Structure 1
Amino acid sequence: MPPIVCVIAGSDPSGAAGLQMDLRVLSLLGVYGTSIPTAFTVQGLDKGIAWEPSPPDLFEKALQTVFSELPVKVVKCGMLGTAEVALKLAEVLPSFSGKVIIDPILSASSGLFLSEKKLVSVLRERLFPLATLVTPNIPEAEALLGLKINPGDEPEAVKALKALGPQAVLLKGGHRKAEKVQDFFFDGYTLKIFEHPRLEGNFRGTGCFLASAIAGLLAQDKALVSAVEEAISLLELALYSAQSSNIFPPPANALVLWERLSGGRKVLEDLMAAVEKFVSHPVRPLIPEVQSNLAYALPYARKVSEVAAFPGRIVGYGNSARPVGCPRFGASSHVARIVLTAMRFEPSKRAALNIRFDRKFIEKAQNLGLKVGWFSRRDEPEEIKAREGGTLSWGVRRVIQELGLVPDLIADEGDLGKEPMIRILAEDPFKAVEIALSLL
């Protein structure tokens, strides 16, 4: 049986937060989620209307039943609502030997208060000392500490929260209106700051997603700081994906986790099938001196390790070519950077193939109606040249910004010690191979 996480939270009928988001995240991480509702809320996607707490005695019986019959590894607490329900939990948790994540939800993103005033003191005095990790945002931390947390005060605030008794604290900085979001982690020994880009949009369910992802990763025996770091990356991915949602305000897209889990194998299979098609033709004229490579990224990839390619490249062989080795993720940082840069402008452009520079190929591409962009390495700023691997990202970004779109081909005529090259950008490796073959 997969590891079990018990979720203790309010029910959100919109499905964008609460128990519904928690269980969705856990399932997609391969964790068995059981749940005990603390409240029934009435919420839409952009408004909160009302809520009623669960009967405390019934809540207590549910707790005792779950803990006595299931081998729960992690408890994840979200909305508790009332001091009475929180006290029932505080009476049961001391006998629980697993990890406890507390996301101290006091209000919904819509502004609806989801807690009574007496709850704050129960959280501080009774529940925080039992927690492995607490994950307040800035407004919640201010309510818990009874003070204003100004920009720059976060390191002291996270230490003050740690002094309330939890083993560790993650102070979430998403409410700050800064270009970069900073989350502050403190375990009593090390202060670690996780910094990531702010994504445009007002999202729902972000705190629930993050705390549940941490709980699910801990249930899989990840170390705490590693679980926090990975969960933050997963949330960033879910928000990046949610930007294209037709729901407003968009909930964090937990389903992107399934795309990742199922997509990895498909990426590798598609790469192998596409390269077999490529080398079944007389493609030797397309292969440059440094050889070719074909790369394909996972949906919403942000890192080189999320882009697969051939570790030994695709080398000339007779009148055709052969791939060296099987495709794997992180195999080519050069081609991966091309893909990642293009995806920042057009996420659907997930594949790239580099081929030999020949003006005949450029002319034929233009005659076929393909869009072609150029950059010159001679225009590259010195600070970019000095940075290992910076040239290709700079060149691709410059072309896209000048054209206002991601072209089908990006060419450069090389420089001292740098071979001229054409890079094909496409939605998938089959399309990249199709474009390459059309140039012969």
Structure 2
Amino acid sequence: MVLVVAGFDPSGGAGIIQDVKVLSALGVKTHAVISALTVQNENRVFSVNFRDWEEMRKEIEVLTPPRVIKVGLSAPETVKRLREMFPDSAIVWNVVLESSSGFGFQDPEEVKKFVEYADYVILNSEEAKKLGEYNNFIVTGGHEKGNTVKVKYRDFVFEIPRVPGEFHGTGCAFSSAVSGFLAMSYPVEEAIRSAMELLKKILERSSGVVETEKLLRDWYRYDTLNTLDEILPEFLEIGHLTVPEVGQNVSYALPWAKNEFEVGKFPGRIRLKEGKAVAVSCASFKDRSHTARMAVTMMRYHPHMRCVVNVRYEREYVERAKKRGLKVFHYDRSKEPKEVQEKEGQSMVWMIEQAIAELKSPPDVIYNEGWWGKEAMIRVFGRNPKEVLEKIKLMVRE
């Protein structure tokens, strides 16, 4: 467990909010106590107010003793107080002498008095020049020029490719990552190396501010494909009733999807082989898909409706859908404007727009009875594959 004692940055790019984001991304249990209140945004600090130790102590002493303590923007004597409270905990102190905009937080001479109470002191190369050389310093080189970033600890020099750009909150993110890996029993050298690798991944996804929360998008990608692969056997089980001649796809969009490559699907579709449904491949974001484009179009109007499946047209399926309370829209392809018919994929977009305009709410089912060279088809919409599957079962089972 890591106890974070750090300042509050209302912009969320640095400070205790960033600390908790990083530690949460690592899956490390975290307790947090605010040590300073700031007035700032991503570009400038206007003021800082350090909290009284006695107030902080009351909050800290009721918490579980931590394995690691990460100290951010705090009155320097806070480190000594924490060492007295937790003599067996590792203390990682991210010293912040001044903001990137030039606002002075702490006096270097005052900081020097308390360096010995921390196991590791993380600071940038400019701050290290003001404080001198100490055996427990971990010095970051993000402020220096070059195509790589170097971090120095004792006789070790760690190097990693630089991510272009200026980012608010890198010191907080890096020191929190080091703290998290130490809490997982990494040797300090490996904690530094792993923290650098993690920060690089975060910065590659960030713009201007360290956006650790975007790591969750990787989890969403995994979860989307995993959800599709897990539910696939249930779709295959009823596939003899649902798979159309052109094949079937289950398309499940990411929450922020803007194009079909941000939609999970089954490349090659689900096909019928000797009367039995089979999948050509596992779920992927690759390949093009009509149903994927339909999912993206539906999300423009109803962002929570992220899944769509195409189903073989049977008149009784449509009738059961109506009888069992699903919202059904009939789409007549003969009424498509010529410009819609002539543009690839535009029919799907126009179809959804017509359904939404008429129903005034998200449709469960959109069907058409075919057209020249086009197979009649039912499309079923829902929040996720499980919900769509249940709607399909309502339609196909007597």
The 3 A distance-change label for structure 1 pair 420 and 372 is same
> Which deviations, in whole Å up to 9, do the C-alpha atoms of 1:280-301 show, x marking residues without a partner?
23x4342222111112234444
- Secondary structure of the 1:41 match is strand
Q: Is the 8 A contact 1:8 1:78 kept in 2?
A: no
Letter in 2 for 1:406: P
Alignment of 1:68-87 (within 5 A): 82-83=103-104, 85=106
Q: How many residues align?
A: 302
Correspondent of 1:329 among 285, 295, 317:
285
Please give the alpha-carbon distance, in whole angstroms, between the structure 2 residues aligned to 1:212 and 1:400. Answer: 44
Distance 2:365 2:250 in 1: 14
Report if aligned partners of 2:327, 2:363 keep a CA contact under 8 Å in 1.
Answer: yes
CA positional deviation for 1:50 = 7.0
On the 8 A contact 2:253/2:262 being kept in 1, the answer is yes
**3-state SS in 2 of match to 1:322:** strand
Counterparts in 2 of 1:59 and 1:273: CA distance versus 1, 3 Å: closer
- Judge conservation of contact 1:11–1:40 (CA < 8 Å) in 2: yes
Contact 1:291–1:314 (Cα < 8 Å) also in 2: yes
Secondary structure of the corresponding residue to residue 278 of structure 2: strand
Question: Rg larger in 1 or in 2?
Answer: 2
Asked if residue 274 in structure 1 is aligned to residue 251 in structure 2, the reply is: no
Equivalent residue, structure 2, for 1:406: 362
Give per-residue Cα distances to partners, 1:207-247, cap 9 Å, x unaligned.
Answer: 769x969x999943898xx97663259999x9xxxxxxxxx
Partner of residue 318, structure 1? 274
Shift of 1:425: 0.7
Amino acid at match of 1:422: I
1:30–1:424: structure 2 CA closer, same or farther, 3 Å change rule?
Answer: same
By how many angstroms is 1:421 displaced? Answer: 1.9
In structure 2, the residue matched to 1:231 is: 206
For 1:92, the aligned partner's letter is: A
Q: 1:20 and 1:326, CA in 2 relative to 1: closer, same or farther beyond 3 A?
A: same
Q: Counterpart in 1 of 2:19?
A: 23
Normalising to structure 1: TM-score of the pair?
Answer: 0.52
What is the CA deviation profile of residues 97-134 of structure 1, one whole-angstrom value per residue up to 9, with x for unaligned ones? 7553xxxxxxxxxxxxxxxxxxxxxxxxxxx776999x
CA distance 1:221–1:407, change in 2 (3 Å): same
Please say if residues 224 and 254 of structure 2, whose CA atoms lie closer than 8 Å, have aligned partners that are also in contact.
Answer: yes
In structure 2, C-alpha distance between the alignment counterparts of 1:42 and 1:231, rounded to whole Å: 23
Is the 8 Å Cα contact of residues 307 and 384 (structure 2) preserved in structure 1? Answer: yes
2:381 to 400, 409, 425: 425
Instruction: State the 1:315 CA deviation.
Output: 0.7
**Alignment RMSD (CA, Å):** 5.3
Q: Give the alignment's TM-score, normalised by structure 2.
A: 0.56
Return the letter of the residue paired with 2:17.
Answer: M
Give the aligned partner of residue 347 of structure 1: 303
Instruction: Name stretches of at least 5 consecutive residues in structure 2 with no aligned partner.
Output: 40-44, 51-72, 81-90, 112-123, 149-162, 178-193
State the SS of the aligned residue for 2:206.
Answer: helix
Q: Cα gap change, 1:93/1:381 in structure 2, threshold over 3 Å: closer, same or farther?
A: farther
- Which whole-Å deviations, capped at 9, do the CAs of 1:79-109 have from their partners, x for residues lacking one? 7773364989634279987553xxxxxxxxx
Q: 1:356–1:93: structure 2 CA closer, same or farther, 3 Å change rule? A: farther
1:220 to 184, 197, 200: 197
